[in-house]
Amino acid sequence: MPASPSLSTLEELLRGMLRIRAFEDVAETSRPDAAAAPPIAGQEAVPVGVCAHLRPGDHLTATHRGHGQTLAGLLGQAAGAHGAMHTAVGAAHGAKLQGKDGVTVCFFGDAALHPGPFLESLNWARVYALPVLFVCEDGPWSLDAASEGASVRAVAMGVPAEQVDASDVLAVHALAGRLVAQLRGGAGPCLLHARNYRGAACAPAGRETDAIARACARYLALGGSAQALQRIERQALQQARRALADALPAPQAALHRVAELAAAVRPLWN
């Protein structure tokens, strides 16, 4: 964690995390009969802390929990469980061949450590010194939960790896910033190993694992006000509700121009 984190920086990170939380809450309550996206409540620190350092021209790939990364400001996304790793490495290699200086971030979970694409992607990125930041969101449920998992395997492949507490957004932000800066400087691929707990039931007794709760406590300790936190949370909820309202047309307007547009499409076989 930075020695003297900026209150304004933490406020922006909180804004991003609360936006993700509001999206999940609104999406779940608006369609209780529909299958919801896999939740990431409590795990918002990693996508927000990492994506804060991305800029136009960068790329990333996400997992099936990718809505968190998307709302954190992703500029490119290829969803998938394991195949996204190959996509990330391919995007980074293509950018390098074109002389571009962007970086690629590849998010994946601990379950992706066992299939071949993980080691294949690490090896390819290392051999060609590609600017890829591999981000492992490691929960306690996999077979590797008691080991160093992703970190050990990355180092064995010659790719530097560092661990961070996934519920500490300031720590994630600081480490990701340093690693992304190294990538932009041509240092080659690296891995950020974020250790988390998906839910309080699997966390050590007495430990706060909700990233937003920890960030809010830190914000108040740094001199932020409870009123400011309430305002940020209210704005995030309003944005989520407005996005939902804009996305769903009124029933009578849902088919507007559909027939006209369909008639304008010429079949490929004509």
- Domain assignment of residue 257, yes or no: no
The model's pLDDT over 2-18, given as tens digits with 9 standing for 90+, comes to: 445 689 999 999 999 99
- Domain assignment of residue 256, yes or no: no
Q: What is the pLDDT of residue 265?
A: 57
Residue 259 per-residue DSSP state = H
Q: Which of 121-125, 205-209, 212-216 has the lowest mean pLDDT?
A: 205-209
User: Mapping DSSP to helix (H, G, I), strand (E, B) and coil, where does residue 158 land?
Assistant: coil
Q: Indicate the pTM of the whole model.
A: 0.82
Are 7 and 223 within 8 A, CB to CB? yes
- Domain assignment of residue 224, yes or no: yes
- Domain assignment of residue 55, yes or no: yes
Give me the helix-helix angle, 226-247 and 211-221, nearest 10°.
140
- Domain assignment of residue 80, yes or no: yes
> Domain containing 175 — which CATH number?
3.40.50.970
Q: With left for phi above 0 and alpha for psi between -120 and 50, is residue 80 left, alpha or beta?
A: left
DSSP H or E run through 161: strand 161-165
Q: What is the pLDDT of residue 57?
A: 85
- Domain assignment of residue 22, yes or no: yes
- Domain assignment of residue 81, yes or no: yes
Average pLDDT for residues 38-64, to the nearest whole number?
A: 85
Beta pairing, strands 59-61 & 132-138: unpaired
More confident residue, 80 or 134: 134
Q: Which of 4-8, 117-121, 207-211, 233-237 has the lowest mean pLDDT?
A: 207-211
